[in-house]
Chain A
């Protein structure tokens, strides 16, 4: 049972494009929604995170949009660069430290 559903599985954009990755959840006990970025051969690393009482958070070129009523959140990457090519995971945390991850989106940004 996948508690956090992520789409698409893969995404290809050209440099300067705006890839969007979507996630949905069911468990209303989740209280924190981070995104992790993973490069080949490395472990995931925290990119940006949001709490459910906020509808949008922006850090540099990365923006999270959060729709609490729909139980959905998404990551937007503005002016994408080839260096953004990586696998992106959305995650959700229960009111403990337990982090549940989506299945990941492999992003490729071509010059």
Chain B
């Protein structure tokens, strides 16, 4: 398996623009997570899906952020409108529920909002 695939790897956008980050989890994994990494706050959990259903979105910073998982092999994180403080590395992770399941992370998307 190719692992968790995220795209794009890098995104530079102007303030106010819409940004869409994409994630393809590992086949067979039924839980998917979006995290945001910054120097100040480390890895923050934004939202968590199980079997394509959002279970916990309490980490989504505000209404400008939204996430979807239309099927088991694809998820998006959208920011509209983007702001400079959204600049961070966004990671997607997936795991197969059960036991001491290991979460596998993608390579991340480095977002810069200017």
Residues in A whose Cβ lies below 8 Å from that of B43: 44, 89, 101, 104
Name the residue of chain A whose CB is nearest to the CB of B108: A43
Residues in A whose Cβ lies below 8 Å from that of B106: 43
Asked whether A44 lies within 8 Å of B105 as measured between CB atoms, the reply is yes
Residues in A whose Cβ lies below 8 Å from that of B21: none
How many residues from A make CB contacts under 8 Å with B?
21
Q: Among the listed A43, A97, A102, which residue makes an inter-chain contact with B101, where contact means beta carbons less than 8 Å apart?
A: A97
Bound-state Cα–Cα, A86 to B89, Å: 16
Asked whether A32 lies within 8 Å of B100 as measured between CB atoms, the reply is yes
Q: Among the listed B31, B55, B93, which residue makes an inter-chain contact with A43, where contact means beta carbons less than 8 Å apart?
A: B93
Name the residue of chain A whose CB is nearest to the CB of B96: A97
* B: contact size bracket: 20 to 34
| A54 vs chain B, min Cβ distance (A) | 12
Dominant SS among interface residues on chain B: strand
Q: Of residues 78 to 111 in A, which have CB atoms within 8 Å of B's CB atoms?
A: 89, 96-104
Asked whether A46 lies within 8 Å of B45 as measured between CB atoms, the reply is no
Name the residue of chain A whose CB is nearest to the CB of B56: A98
Bound-state Cα–Cα, A104 to B41, Å: 9
Q: Of residues 13 to 53 in A, which have CB atoms within 8 Å of B's CB atoms?
A: 32, 34, 41-46, 49, 51
Q: Of residues 30 to 82 in B, which have CB atoms within 8 Å of A's CB atoms?
A: 31, 33, 35, 41-45, 48, 50, 55-56
| A50 vs chain B, min Cβ distance (A) | 10
Name the residue of chain B whose CB is nearest to the CB of A51: B100
18 chain-A/chain-B pairs, Cβ below 8 angstroms: A32-B100, A34-B102, A42-B107, A43-B106, A44-B105, A45-B104, A49-B100, A89-B43, A97-B31, A97-B97, A97-B103, A98-B45, A98-B56, A99-B33, A101-B35, A101-B44, A102-B42, A104-B42
